[in-house]
Structure 1
Amino acid sequence: MTLHDRSRYGRYTGGPDPLAPPVDLSEALDAVAEDVMAGYSPRHALQEFLRRGGRNRDGLDDLARQVQQRRRDLVGRHRLDGTLDDVRKLLDTAVLEERKQLARDAMMDNTDRALREMQLQDLPASTAAAVNELASYDWQSRTARDAYEQIKDLLGREVLDQRFAGMKQALENATDQDREAVGAMLRDLNGLLAKHRRGEDTDADFQDFMARHGQYFPENPRSVEELVDALAKRAAAAQRLLQSMSPEQRDELMRLSAQAFGSGELMAQLDELDGNLQALRPGEDWSGSERFDGQDGLGLGDGTGVLQDLAELDELSEQLSQSYNGSRLDDLDLDALARQLGPDAAVSARTLAEIERAMQDGGYLRRGADGDLRLSPQAMRRLGKSLLRDTARQLSGRQGQRDTRLAGAAGEQTGSSRAWEFGDAEPWDVTRTMTNAIRRTMADGGNPRPGLRLAPEDIEVAETEARTQAAVVLLVDVSFSMAAEGRWVPMKRTALALHHLVSTRFRGDRLELITFGRYAQSMDIGSLTALPALREQGTNLHHGLLLAGRFFRRHPSMQHVLLVVTDGEPTAHLLPDGDSWFNWPPDAETIRVTVAELDRLGRSGTLATFFRLGDDPGLERFIQRLALRVDGRVVAPDVGGLGAAVLGEYLRAHVRSTYSDADWF
């Protein structure tokens, strides 16, 4: 195989990479869920993530800043008199070369030479006026004549480049035949657009036009509407370019345009084209302007291209803002983004759009009965798994009881076995027992084929674990102080991690989530996760304990486990008529009924743990006394360790043998 036969590989440019891995939603889901737990709506939380971006990915705000920076660079780097400068240089060259020729030409009549010198000496200061005055001048210098003809050629190519990108380069060194072909294209184009304005054109008209003149339209439009769109954007940019010039510059260029290709027909055709396009696309910006204050001069064609870039940047800025009704990232023009900011920016935007699409259409957000978006059960499971994994890392260094695995009691087999001990009632592990007997017999020189005689040391029993089923209540304080002190989101993360642990690892357990503020109520995990911070006063632990007792009575055969998370003493209790009584400092009756309800749970064998948040001495004394009444425990974690503390206490209450935390995660 020769060198030329070898395959060459590069970046894939045909749209989304078909071999790219699916977009990773874990970071987006974590960020959205964090904001949802902080009280934002899922829609707002998703929009905020898309604006911020990820750890290694630009967000919408980053892209918008790049768009604005490119816009500032364009207007700060350029000025619009590049064509005037080029014409002035060619004019100076022509005049200088003509004067040299006049000085060298000894055969010329002195009177004629003097008249010519006077005409060149008295040229107007205006470049346009000087060029027009020399239109009929009989040049003696070939070099001067060529320079002047270049002015007409340059102007023709520039005014065409304003309407048709790339025409300036395409017509360089063009012949008269080439220029006539352009004139024929303009006449046919105006004829097609005039018919289209009247509604008389057909697809055959368009196809015939493209067959004859398609080389002038690299955009390869597929219909007359696409053709009009492309031409109107360019023509509108050309108008904005003229309006961005100073009045003097604009007047100079308009007067110079009459010399384009040395023929007035070109400008007449272009004026007719502008009229057709403005009538067909009145919504384009035909009257805007920009302020340029840079040093790099732009010609008419390049300047029009810059104005088109600015318009495209403005459209991208609006798309990236996502501030209009019904906005979605699918609206982003990725091709335009790649043109203006490069392929990496387009990749970032495409990834953000895929994240938005996957979150909304992939089942992670769903519309509730009230019409609002909510985290779906699928999203809750994924988030719970992530939170449980994080909590496991915190638990990994802690010691304590985790799960009941009692050998010697009938229960669920673990898949392990151990040597039989006197008094064991577990079933034998027959396979391991027979294997042990065969090995022992052969080691003693015997033959196991005729039969085996078992010895006590051969016997292994299947190890089981006796798991106590538990009815668990997580009672969480949702008074305003929880949100004000930064404990709102950690509380929700804790509930979600516990919910995921129970629903995936301890399916025989029953979990009830109860919130208590001015009133208490049972909540599913989705409602608790989306619960906004409440500004009502009141810590009605009494009502929460009543609901916990009701839940425990529905599961009399299970071990009752009560986990209470609070940062304040009870300041409210439930009255017989269902109203909530609130008072600060805590009323004696509030304390009495709260303690009475806790005592009732304690008498039924409830294992209680209180998680005290904050360092208030009064709360510390009160919680300690509550725990003593029911032989419970008090844990005072910092906010960051709340989840590990609650899950650790749940596992401690649930088990009777020591196993490492890693066994469960």
Structure 2
Amino acid sequence: MTVPDRYSYGPYHDGPDPLAPPLDLRVALDQIGRDVMEGSAPRTALEELLRRGMRDTRGLDELTRQVRQRRSEIAARHRLDGTLHQVRELLEAALDAERGALFPDPSDDARFAEAQLDALPTSTAAAVNELADYHWRSETGGQNYQEIRDLLGRELLDSRVQGMKQALQNATPEDVERVGQMMSDLNDLLAAQARGENTEQQFADFMAEHGEFFPENPSNTDELIDALAGRAAAAQRMINSMSAEQRAELADLIGQAFGDPRIAQQIAALDATLRALRPGEDWTSGQRFRGQDPLGLGDGAQAMQDLAELDALAEQLGQSYPGARLEDIDLEALTRHLGDSAAVDATRLAELERELRRQGVFERTPDGSLRLTPKALRRLGETALRAVLGQLRSRRGERDTVLAGAAGEPTGATRPWQFGDTEPWDVSRTVRNAVLRSASTGSRRVQLEVSDVEIMETEQRSRAAVALCVDTSWSMVQEGRWVPMKRTALALHQLIGTRFRSDALSVIAFGRHAETVDIGDLTALEGVWEQGTNLHHALLLAARHLRRHPDAVPVVLVVTDGEPTAHLEPDGAAYFSWPPEPRTLAVTMAQVDALTTLGATVTVFMLGNDPELREFVDLVARRSGGRVVAPDLDGLGAAVVSDYLHGRRG
């Protein structure tokens, strides 16, 4: 009889969750693109993304906050007099037991012993030292006093070598002797290293003899020194954090460690050598602890190490030092303090940064800075265009057919038929769909169904020359119109670049002056405090673009939030005046008339409700046969794309 296989299921602990969703680079790029369009440098935008994180991934700022919260919790929960407190309790219990044993004894020796106990100093440390040669009559008292010595020894060693407190629990005199020998050999090894001697063989012999005390399993003397120096510096910082009275009391007590003053001497020699070998460790600072949970010397040293580790993690997560990389983050330390999920988030952020660079989202400019690549700009354009088309469909009930054209040359692309489509069928693909569908159901008869039909997309034969003039004056930034303007330009650029490739688009930015810009420069353009709205110069450049394409339908689109306050003088200088002078308005209208002679109509997308602006744009519309559109910011892209599609039909 065979026993069926049994399976057990549990949490996955070997790295990131293999079933976790892949990184969404498109969402990441959208966030970066928004920051870039708002004026951030691409590098700054990437850093900001990593600080904020994404929907399912905590960012560096949140991880840093949790690290600092964890640090604060340690300081708020604990105090550092745990060993002193334990010694005091053991001593009081020992003295009570001893007095109880002496009271029934009528002898002079008992009275003399009571007098000795009554004359003990009030200081716990001084009392422990005076009782070093006392002959205990109470078994409990003697055991408690020996426990004080063992406790001091375990705590003192544990504060320098992690894990010694557990290793020396219920230690025998032989165990104490072995520890003393280990400390002596350790000091000899470190002294030889400090003298510059080759300690390779000495280290190997030391680990063969005493390796059980070092679970870190260092591979050479330097690694051993690093581990010991970090622990010793933490112990010193813990002592620095105590009050002066506590430090003095502890200094008086440590000579009683295991009842052997040589242990304290070996510790002092170890500390001195480590300070000389690792002066860069923090030996001088302290930390204010304000909690109620007492910590012994070993646990206190561990708490100080934890605080130092948390400080290092906060610095690594902050990424504010020169040459910072996400690979610098200590994932093991992050896991210890915040759990596995924090390490997974940090890993995903590092992977996100690598993927963005690997996918060609950024490229380096000649001056060494980063900028978005054409590939990244296309992705941003796709996102912007998708949003615009969604608004058009929801507003007018249209589908993407307007983009392919109702008639004209086939583009080579096809799509499933939808109700109302009039484009020709792609017969071969339609029949193939029917055959595949019938075969999948096991039917030998092939019958066409509506779901099988695919139609051929076509491209309009008309060609347009499009001048998109966008206002880049400071008011666009100030009133929150900067990013919607850039998204509108991205959407139009993407539409023309993918669906109407024969059209010629010129993007013209105008503030005090106007200039023709490519879409990458416009996307990264920063808002600059500069007075002037030079629509006159922008229309001059638009006319130049239209003249280069005399066979195309002329389309001029203007996005602005202010009436013209500047114009171009014959010598090329920009003249500014507020309020606008009649001369500025006159030369601007003259340029509108010049565009009209080229067959162009000017559509103005008016942002804002300024009465003077409304009066001016109405005049432009009447003179050019164009129109005025006053969209809200969310509808700006849809309004511009819709007007372009309408205007390119002539």
**Aligned counterpart, 1:638:** 632
Q: Does structure 1 residue 246 correspond to structure 2 residue 240?
A: no
Cα distance in 2, alignment partners of residues 323 and 577 from structure 1: 49
Counterpart contact for 2:404–2:458, Cα < 8 Å: no
- Mean Cα deviation higher: 347-356 or 530-539: 347-356
Structural mapping, 1:95-494, within 5 Å: 95-104=95-104, 110-360=107-357, 362-399=359-396, 402-403=402-403, 405-407=405-407, 466-494=460-488
Cα distance in 2, alignment partners of residues 428 and 305 from structure 1: 76
Quote how far apart the aligned CAs of 1:655 are. Answer: 4.8
Cα distance in 2, alignment partners of residues 395 and 613 from structure 1: 19
Quote how far apart the aligned CAs of 1:558 are. Answer: 2.1
Q: 1:601 aligns with which of 589, 595, 606?
A: 595
Q: Does structure 1 residue 532 correspond to structure 2 residue 526?
A: yes
**Aligned counterpart, 1:36:** 36
**Aligned counterpart, 2:442:** none
Q: 1:622 aligns with which of 610, 616, 624?
A: 616
Counterpart contact for 1:417–1:429, Cα < 8 Å: no
Cα distance in 2, alignment partners of residues 187 and 38 from structure 1: 65
- Mean Cα deviation higher: 196-205 or 542-551: 196-205
**Aligned counterpart, 1:45:** 45
Q: Which amino acid aligns with 1:138?
A: H
**Aligned counterpart, 2:502:** 508
Quote how far apart the aligned CAs of 1:531 are. Answer: 0.9
Q: Which amino acid aligns with 1:24?
A: D
**Runs of 5+ unmatched residues, structure 1:** 419-423, 436-460, 657-665
SS in 2 for 1:215: helix
Quote how far apart the aligned CAs of 1:54 are. Answer: 2.9
Cα distance in 2, alignment partners of residues 589 and 63 from structure 1: 59
Cα distance change on mapping 1:434 and 1:615 into 2, 3 Å: closer
SS in 2 for 1:163: coil
- Mean Cα deviation higher: 553-562 or 257-266: 553-562
Counterpart contact for 1:412–1:466, Cα < 8 Å: no
SS in 2 for 1:513: strand
SS in 2 for 1:11: coil
- Mean Cα deviation higher: 359-368 or 92-101: 359-368
Q: Which amino acid aligns with 2:212?
A: Q
Cα distance change on mapping 1:577 and 1:29 into 2, 3 Å: same
**Aligned counterpart, 1:11:** 12
Quote how far apart the aligned CAs of 1:434 are. Answer: 12
Cα distance change on mapping 1:417 and 1:293 into 2, 3 Å: closer
Counterpart contact for 2:410–2:456, Cα < 8 Å: no
**Aligned counterpart, 2:438:** none
Cα distance change on mapping 1:633 and 1:213 into 2, 3 Å: same
Quote how far apart the aligned CAs of 1:210 are. Answer: 2.0
Cα distance change on mapping 1:2 and 1:185 into 2, 3 Å: farther
Q: Which amino acid aligns with 2:557?
A: L
Cα distance in 2, alignment partners of residues 186 and 282 from structure 1: 21
Cα distance in 1, alignment partners of residues 566 and 296 from structure 2: 78
Deviations 1:292-337 (A, max 9, x none): 2221111111111111111112222222333222223322222222
**Aligned counterpart, 2:517:** 523
Quote how far apart the aligned CAs of 1:49 are. Answer: 2.7
**Aligned counterpart, 1:555:** 549
Counterpart contact for 1:194–1:276, Cα < 8 Å: yes
Q: Does structure 1 residue 57 correspond to structure 2 residue 57?
A: yes
Deviations 1:356-392 (A, max 9, x none): 3333454222221222221222221222222222222
Cα distance in 1, alignment partners of residues 363 and 176 from structure 2: 62
Cα distance in 1, alignment partners of residues 335 and 565 from structure 2: 60
**Aligned counterpart, 1:69:** 69
Cα distance change on mapping 1:510 and 1:222 into 2, 3 Å: farther
Quote how far apart the aligned CAs of 1:628 are. Answer: 2.2
Cα distance in 1, alignment partners of residues 168 and 489 from structure 2: 72
Q: Which amino acid aligns with 1:651?
A: L
Counterpart contact for 2:404–2:499, Cα < 8 Å: no
Counterpart contact for 1:77–1:294, Cα < 8 Å: yes
Q: Which amino acid aligns with 1:52?
A: R
Cα distance in 2, alignment partners of residues 331 and 410 from structure 1: 56
Quote how far apart the aligned CAs of 1:403 are. Answer: 4.3
Q: 1:589 aligns with which of 583, 587, 593?
A: 583
Quote how far apart the aligned CAs of 1:638 are. Answer: 0.9
Quote how far apart the aligned CAs of 1:188 are. Answer: 1.8
Cα distance in 2, alignment partners of residues 37 and 514 from structure 1: 16
**Runs of 5+ unmatched residues, structure 2:** 433-454
Counterpart contact for 2:463–2:503, Cα < 8 Å: yes
Counterpart contact for 1:132–1:256, Cα < 8 Å: yes
Counterpart contact for 2:510–2:535, Cα < 8 Å: yes
Cα distance change on mapping 1:404 and 1:57 into 2, 3 Å: closer
Cα distance change on mapping 1:204 and 1:142 into 2, 3 Å: same
Deviations 1:8-31 (A, max 9, x none): 432324x44566554323333222
TM-score normalised per structure 2: 0.89
- Mean Cα deviation higher: 74-83 or 297-306: 74-83
Q: Which amino acid aligns with 1:245?
A: M
Q: Which amino acid aligns with 2:256?
A: Q
Counterpart contact for 2:403–2:499, Cα < 8 Å: no
Quote how far apart the aligned CAs of 1:573 are. Answer: 2.0
Cα distance change on mapping 1:288 and 1:515 into 2, 3 Å: same
TM-score normalised per structure 1: 0.87
SS in 1 for 2:72: helix
- Mean Cα deviation higher: 341-350 or 644-653: 341-350
Cα distance in 2, alignment partners of residues 173 and 123 from structure 1: 29
Counterpart contact for 1:549–1:601, Cα < 8 Å: yes
Cα distance change on mapping 1:34 and 1:464 into 2, 3 Å: closer
Cα distance in 1, alignment partners of residues 26 and 425 from structure 2: 45
Quote how far apart the aligned CAs of 1:465 are. Answer: 5.2
Counterpart contact for 2:465–2:552, Cα < 8 Å: yes
Cα distance in 1, alignment partners of residues 234 and 216 from structure 2: 17
- Mean Cα deviation higher: 153-162 or 474-483: 474-483
**Aligned counterpart, 2:540:** 546
Cα distance in 2, alignment partners of residues 66 and 529 from structure 1: 35
Cα distance in 1, alignment partners of residues 8 and 429 from structure 2: 59
- Mean Cα deviation higher: 163-172 or 23-32: 23-32
Cα distance change on mapping 1:433 and 1:172 into 2, 3 Å: closer
Counterpart contact for 2:53–2:60, Cα < 8 Å: yes
SS in 1 for 2:567: strand
Cα distance in 2, alignment partners of residues 376 and 65 from structure 1: 33
Deviations 1:447-505 (A, max 9, x none): xxxxxxxxxxxxxx989554422222111011222112211111111111211222222
Quote how far apart the aligned CAs of 1:415 are. Answer: 5.4
Cα distance change on mapping 1:131 and 1:558 into 2, 3 Å: same
Q: Which amino acid aligns with 2:271?
A: D
Q: Does structure 1 residue 613 correspond to structure 2 residue 607?
A: yes
Counterpart contact for 1:413–1:465, Cα < 8 Å: no
Deviations 1:519-565 (A, max 9, x none): 11110111111111122222221211121122122222222221111
Cα distance change on mapping 1:242 and 1:547 into 2, 3 Å: same
Deviations 1:154-183 (A, max 9, x none): 111000010011211111012222222222
